[in-house]
């Protein structure tokens, strides 16, 4: 089926940069990419420099939304050897609130989080060992 639509010249030019010989093909390819999405639902498109940064942070190439969700889920886990403990979002917020309680204004909180969680885990492990 052939459909005629009017689009602003500046948008058409962007697609012409992708495929100078056939901008219509570039437009059709873009439409195919998003055809399965429901209109009006929020979406996140990560590409270019942000995608490279995300891949670096995760240490794994993110090739689709499923991989992204899996990798973000791993960020909620504390792993020691074969033991993996998944923390809920509320538990992470609570840890952050407790570890940041004595923070001075303007102070970087990351070292406090690390020290607090490390000490908490050490005390828990010592308690289990000395049981």
Q: Where are the domains of the chain?
A: 7-43, 45-75, 77-131
Query: Taking residues 73-97, what's their average pLDDT?
Result: 75
**DSSP element (H, E) containing 83:** strand 83-86
Residue 103: per-residue pLDDT:
64
pTM attached to this predicted model: 0.49
**What's the whole-number average pLDDT of the chain?**
81
CA distance 28 to 76: 39
In percent, the amount of the chain with pLDDT more than 70 equals 82
CA distance 114 to 2: 59
Residue 117 scores a pLDDT above 80 = no
pLDDT digits (tens, 9 = 90+) for 14-59: 999 989 999 989 999 988 988 888 888 888 888 899 999 988 888 8
């Amino acid at each position: 089926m052939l459909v005629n639509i009017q689009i602003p010249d500046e948008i058409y030019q962007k697609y012409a940069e992708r495929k100078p010989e056939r901008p219509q093909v570039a437009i059709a390819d873009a439409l195919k990419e998003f055809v399965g999405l429901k209109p009006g639902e929020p979406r996140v498109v990560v590409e270019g420099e942000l995608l490279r940064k995300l891949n670096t942070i995760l240490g794994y190439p993110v090739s689709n939304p499923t991989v992204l969700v899996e990798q973000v889920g791993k960020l909620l886990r504390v792993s020691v050897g074969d033991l993996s403990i998944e923390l809920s979002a509320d538990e992470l917020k609570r840890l952050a609130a407790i570890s940041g309680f004595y923070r001075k204004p303007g102070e970087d909180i990351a070292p406090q989080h690390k020290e607090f969680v490390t000490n908490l885990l050490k005390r828990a492990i010592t308690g289990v060992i000395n049981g």
